[in-house]
Amino acid sequence: MKLPATIKTIIIETVCLLYVLLFVYAALNKLLDFENFQVQLGQSPLLSTFAELVSYTVPAVEFIIAFMLLTVRLRYAGMYAAFSLMVMFTAYIFIMLHFSPFVPCSCGGVLEKLSWNQHLIFNIVFVVLMLIAILLYRTNELPARTLNFKERLTRIGVTMIFSVTVVTVFFLLSEDTIHRSNNFTRRFPHHPTTFKSEIDLQYDSYYIAGYDDEYVYLGNSTAPLTVTMVNIAHQNKKQFVIQLPKYKFSYTAPRLLVKPPYFYFADGTVPCIFRGSISDWKPSLVLHKKAYFSLIAPVNVNKAALRVIGSKTHENVLATIAYTDSLHLNYTILEKQIDGVFDTDGMLLYNAQLDKILYTYYYRNEFIIANDSLNSYSIGHTIDTTTQAQIKLAKIDSKKITTLAKQPVIVNKKTATYGNYLFVNAALIGKFEPKDMWKKASIIDVYDLVKNTYAFSFYIYDKGGEKMSEFIISNDLVIVLTGKYLTISKLRSDYYVPWNPKKPKQTK
């Protein structure tokens, strides 16, 4: 059944008007907050290398296409141009969701309220609308000669292939992809781990707060005062609610940490630390307003390691604090390379077996091993070759902030420690490693802290298409949180020597 010419015209005019509104709005939104738009492009793993070029080109192209759609003589070409640009946007989002190591911020405006999956659906709808409009375009308005249906489909197909190819080339040439290849070699023993069990937690809002020989303690980002205890051997769960004293604190980043027989509820933005016993989950306030902190690692019942912003340098500084005493800062441990904040960002751990504070940088091949007072430390190196943090900063004057101008090259993503070892979730691929493994597993590099050497590596496989969010090591057990699943595997003692508490403690 053929549609009347009037209906076709209404559909075409409506689709073109929707595209005009979308492109004009998007272009104006980018230009009105151009500085922030450039920063967001710089943080994209696909576009960071071309951020400056794209930041000027995209708004200009959107305005030009909108003008073409409003001009009768240029409309047909404008429809193909709009179709091509929207296919590029759609392909970009698809690649970001399925092939990118991380997903950056969205493009701003109203569409910023959409999730990336919702944005993908939104774009697909617009692609389909323009596809329909092109196929319905009246033959007497076509330039040169009338194209039959098959020829239009061919032209549409060529346009789609061209658009997807352009985005794919950006991906292949992206700075992130280039920097993921490095001149180092990992050792992968044959089957270094064996699967033991898997627990369905039902929800994906959990994080690992702590552990002991019997339980894994889980916090919940949507219910900050809820504690879930998972029995490692029997896989049963218990839930408790922390009975927090009623203070009028404006919590913004509360975090539960469990170090049996005690637990800690902390928020460095208040700042405050509560401490209590896991026997009743009733904490009391042990620290308030002594130091704002961004990271915390409890050392013992009366002491914690912190990362703070130093009042002298306004840079990241490692510190220790006894809850009844003052803050002790060591300004020399973290090594400034660029700004002392972004370049020194990393992960803070406490190794109870060695009584060591560990700090691993995100953006360079380095970690720090310090005593519990931070007055003595040594430097260790991960096996990749990135010695200098590859960071570019941008100042957004309108918001009076300094932020990353583009996504830096991440070297170390997550860490865990137990006994003589540091476990690092590596972000960079080494020589002779199959690239397809990086699509379906995470790489864990193991370092001997006593010998200060690289030991071996092993894989933690994705679950349900998701990569692990956290992992811990409980002696010879590898406990992994992936989405709503908690997976437990056992490290083989052929490649890993479990901690023996009966032996004297080894020190460096």
pLDDT of residue 508: 39
Contacts of 410 (CB under 8 A, 6+ apart): 101, 362, 363, 427
| Cα Rg of the chain, angstroms | 27
Tell me the three state secondary structure of residue 339. Answer: coil
Residue-level pLDDT at 345:
96
Q: CA-CA distance, 361 to 412, in Å (whole number)?
A: 7
Say if residue 202 is exposed, middle or buried (CB neighbours under 10 Å; 0-12, 13-18, 19+).
exposed
Quickly tell me which residue has 């476990």 as its tokens: 423
Strands 477-482, 485-491: pairing is antiparallel
3-state secondary structure of 97: helix
Q: What confidence score (pLDDT) does residue 203 get?
A: 92
Phi, psi angle pair for 417, to nearest 5°:
-150, 150
Taking the C-alpha atoms of residue 60 and residue 58, their distance in angstroms, rounded to an integer, is 5
List per-block mean pLDDT (blocks of 10 residues) for the chain, which spans 508 residues: 76 94 91 78 69 86 95 91 94 83 53 77 93 78 58 88 90 58 72 90 95 95 95 91 94 95 96 96 93 95 94 92 89 94 96 97 96 94 91 79 83 96 92 78 94 91 92 95 95 84 52
Length of the chain: 508
Phi, psi angles (nearest 5°) of residue 359: -135, 120
pTM (2 d.p.): 0.70
For 421, phi then psi, to 5°, come to -120, 150
SS3 sequence, 238-271? Answer: EEEECCCCCCCCCCCCCEEEEECCEEEEEECCCC
